[in-house]
């Protein structure tokens, strides 16, 4: 079997320079080049977004029983299940665990980083087909949310989007973590974050939920370079004003504002496991009902599994992406 090549490039970001978290602004961008790359041809590209606490490099981790993303691409291309394509694995990790691929004064402008810097950087560096219908975005969990954000707001760049277990219908996927976060944070969000980063500190059973809620607050409800939690630190009561700010970022609520963008996509694919621990299968169903309401073409599938260890679902997304890519002859070369 012929194998592709992994290239790691360093990109100096003007967008992320002086970010409020002091996170690095010179970041590694991992790129998968398919077997035979370098010949006189151009390739479609897929941007693969990781979940909360993830970064692109992690998609290349070695595992005993599961192929990493590059190995998966090699197998699918060798079997003729997908066409040769470039895969881009960006790093949008932050001090709070992730960016949700949004612009936020509390974390940095990661939406701009991806759309205004990384896409042009990749197009300038590699033999990509430079129009939106040969550029896809996919991801799982927070990466699936990021793929939806790109579909909702950046359909001029990405003509295909696939979300596996992406965050949607926030009432189901976040509210159940708030009591756990309240107990873990113990009234001191900043102190909790520093403790969470301390490798010598044992993590409690609710600590990840606490870190997740803080991370989402930095994205959804920033307050300058700080953030506001969606619950009262003394009682745990939901703060309706802050929660409303979260809901403004819910893909279910954003559909109505983005109908034309969504209708312009060549592919919008949404799937989730029917035993998802964060009820994201229900979020997917509710989101797809909203898409139906506005006659937005999409594919919705469910599978018998939970939220974790479902990298095998990448095969389905990649196969659909490969089927729906538009060839250069019929594509809009202006995008």
Average pLDDT on 37-58 reads 95
Q: pLDDT value at position 23?
A: 98
Asked if 274 contacts 227 with a C-beta cutoff of 8 angstroms, the reply is no
Average pLDDT on 38-64 reads 95
Q: pLDDT value at position 303?
A: 98
Q: What CATH class has 5-168+251-324?
A: alpha beta
pLDDT tens digits for range 122-141: 999 999 999 999 999 999 99
Question: d(Cα 128, Cα 4) in Å, to the nearest integer?
Answer: 15
pLDDT at 84 > cutoff 70? yes
Q: What is the pTM of this model?
A: 0.97
| CA nearest neighbour of 141 among 82, 76, 215 | 215
pLDDT at 146 > cutoff 60? yes
Question: d(Cα 269, Cα 151) in Å, to the nearest integer?
Answer: 11
pLDDT tens digits for range 311-320: 999 999 999 9
DSSP SS3 for 255: helix
Asked if 97 contacts 53 with a C-beta cutoff of 8 angstroms, the reply is yes
pLDDT at 243 > cutoff 80? yes
pLDDT tens digits for range 3-25: 999 999 999 999 999 999 999 99
Question: d(Cα 297, Cα 139) in Å, to the nearest integer?
Answer: 19
Q: pLDDT value at position 39?
A: 72
Q: pLDDT value at position 38?
A: 82
Q: pLDDT value at position 334?
A: 44
pLDDT at 332 > cutoff 90? no
Helices first, then strands: H and E counts in the chain: 13, 12
Q: What percent of the chain has pLDDT over 90?
A: 95
Bigger pLDDT: 83 vs 333: 83
β-pair partners for 137: 47, 161
Average pLDDT on 53-78 reads 97
Provide CB contacts within 8 A for 255, sequence distance 6+.
152, 262, 287, 290, 291, 293, 294, 296
Q: Return the DSSP state at 326.
A: P
The token duo for 112 is: 């701009």
| CA nearest neighbour of 48 among 194, 150, 182, 125 | 150
pLDDT band of residue 117 (cuts 50, 70, 90) is very high
Mean residue pLDDT across the chain = 96
Average pLDDT on 62-85 reads 97
For the chain, the maximum distance between any two Cα atoms, rounded to a whole number of angstroms, is 64
Q: pLDDT value at position 328?
A: 61
pLDDT tens digits for range 173-192: 999 999 999 999 999 999 99
Question: d(Cα 59, Cα 193) in Å, to the nearest integer?
Answer: 25
pLDDT tens digits for range 207-217: 999 999 999 99
Sequence spans of domains, the chain: 5-168+251-324, 172-247
* E strand or H helix that includes residue 137: strand 135-140
| Per-residue exposure over 9-27, b if at least 16 CB sit within 10 Å of its own CB, e if not | eebebebbeebbeebebeb
pLDDT at 91 > cutoff 60? yes
Q: Give, to the nearest 10 degrees, the angle between helix 178-185 and helix 189-197.
A: 80
For the chain, the first-to-last Cα distance in angstroms comes to 34
């Amino acid at each position: 079997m012929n194998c592709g090549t992994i290239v790691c490039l360093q990109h100096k970001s003007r967008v992320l320079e002086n970010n409020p978290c002091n996170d690095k602004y010179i970041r590694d961008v991992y790129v998968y080049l398919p077997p035979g790359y370098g010949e006189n041809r151009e390739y479609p590209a897929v941007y693969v977004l990781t979940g909360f606490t993830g970064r692109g490099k992690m998609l290349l981790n070695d595992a005993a029983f599961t192929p990493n993303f590059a190995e998966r691409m090699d197998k699918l291309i060798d079997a003729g299940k997908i066409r040769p394509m470039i895969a881009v694995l960006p790093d949008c990790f932050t001090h709070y665990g992730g960016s949700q691929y949004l612009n936020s004064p509390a974390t940095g402008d990661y939406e701009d980083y991806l759309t205004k810097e990384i896409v042009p950087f990749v197009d300038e560096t590699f033999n990509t087909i430079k129009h939106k219908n040969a550029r896809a975005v996919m991801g799982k969990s927070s990466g699936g949310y990021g793929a939806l954000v790109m579909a909702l707001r950046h359909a001029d760049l990405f003509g295909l989007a696939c979300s596996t277990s992406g965050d949607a219908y926030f009432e189901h996927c976040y509210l159940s973590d708030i009591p756990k976060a309240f107990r873990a944070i113990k009234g001191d969000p900043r102190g909790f974050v520093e403790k969470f980063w301390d490798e010598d500190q044992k993590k409690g059973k609710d600590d990840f939920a606490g870190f997740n809620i803080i991370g989402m607050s930095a994205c959804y409800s920033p307050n300058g370079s700080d953030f506001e939690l969606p619950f009262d630190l003394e009682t745990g009561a939901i703060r309706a004003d802050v929660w409303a700010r979260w809901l403004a970022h819910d893909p279910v609520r954003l559909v109505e504002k983005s109908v034309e963008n969504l209708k312009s996509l060549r592919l919008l694919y949404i799937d989730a496991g029917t035993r998802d621990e964060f009820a994201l299968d229900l979020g997917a169903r509710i989101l797809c009902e909203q898409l139906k309401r506005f006659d937005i073409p999409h594919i919705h599938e469910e599978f018998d599994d939970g939220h974790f260890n479902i990298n095998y679902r990448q095969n389905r997304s990649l196969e659909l992406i490969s089927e729906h890519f538009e060839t250069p002859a019929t594509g809009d070369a202006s995008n």
